[in-house]
Amino acid sequence: MTPATFSSLVEARYQNHTANAQDGPHTPTIELLLRHQSVRKFLSDALPPNALEMFVAAGQSASTSSMLQNWSLIAIQDLAHKDAVATLCGDQDFIRQAPLFLIFCTDLHRMSHLCEKYNQTGEALDKLDLFMQGTLDAAIAAQNITIAAESLGLGVCYVGAARNNAAQLAQLLRIPERCAPVFGLAVGKPDPVSNPPAIKPRLPIGEVLHRERWNDDRQDELIASYDDALGAFYFGQEKLGRKTWSDHTSRHVSTTNLDGREVYRTTLGNRGFKLD
């Protein structure tokens, strides 16, 4: 295999022929990040000993807002339990296949308990920002876990469908009030036959990077180039007949049917989140 260069890694990620002459930082960590792909077919191989504890330590090593650490996770490994959880999370078989499925929660229950214990009002717990802090902390921790897992040759897939049936999932997992599932993460050894190396292109850097001030003068041009790049990727994957990214995503956000997630705000309210 030809050693990767910075420009080849960037081109593999964007597939828009703009990186050929670029040079820049290149480390094993950067290569790991740029080669990321979601895995939806797992082998039954067990995880390395103490991998779960290492993942949690890696997650907790991430930055946390105001040192509040307002997140928690639930590790699902029992096969029957994982099957029940998978059913509520989009009924996706890769969740059942993965030896480990993590449910990340925004957790204000811990702070609520501490406020009660120390006779504090906990007024800020009713604010939207506290929920956002916990959710962001959970996402940052999950990305640390993702990098740790991929450094071991494992693969992951994030699961937003943990919000599809959030009320039922919270009941199944005995999640307390002021704590709510926000997403899942399947972790395991990728099936090499079903997961050939195929890096899906992202929006061009110029579409998401604004220097000094916002500037979207080239937005239509850059999105059109992305439609072409992603279309070529899907053609190479023999996934024919797909609409362009811009057409597909505009349709995706133009319906109120979100597979159950449209009532997530109500679920949060029922779980004690005021989100003022």
Domains of the chain, earliest start first: 6-28+197-244 (no CATH), 51-195 (3.40.109.10)
- pLDDT band for 1, please (50, 70, 90 cuts): very low
pLDDT(182) > 80: yes
How many CA within 13 A on the CB side of residue 253? 5
Query: Is 260 a residue whose pLDDT tops 50?
Result: yes
Chain Cα centroid distance, residue 229: 23
Query: How distant, in Å, are the alpha carbons of 1, 105, 231, 261, 267 from that of 236?
Result: 21, 37, 9, 32, 41
3-state secondary structure of 170: helix
d(CA 11, CA 18): 7
The stretch 52-66 carries a mean pLDDT of: 98
Give the separation between CA 90 and CA 259, rounded to whole angstroms. 8
* pLDDT for residue 21: 57
pLDDT of residue 211: 97
Find out whether 83 and 160 touch, Cβ atoms under 8 Å.
Answer: no
**Cα dihedral 101, 107, 109, 115 sign:** positive
CA distances from 145 to 41, 49, 202 (A): 19, 16, 22
pLDDT of 241 > 80? The answer is: no
Rounded Cα–Cα distance for residues 42 and 192 (Å): 9
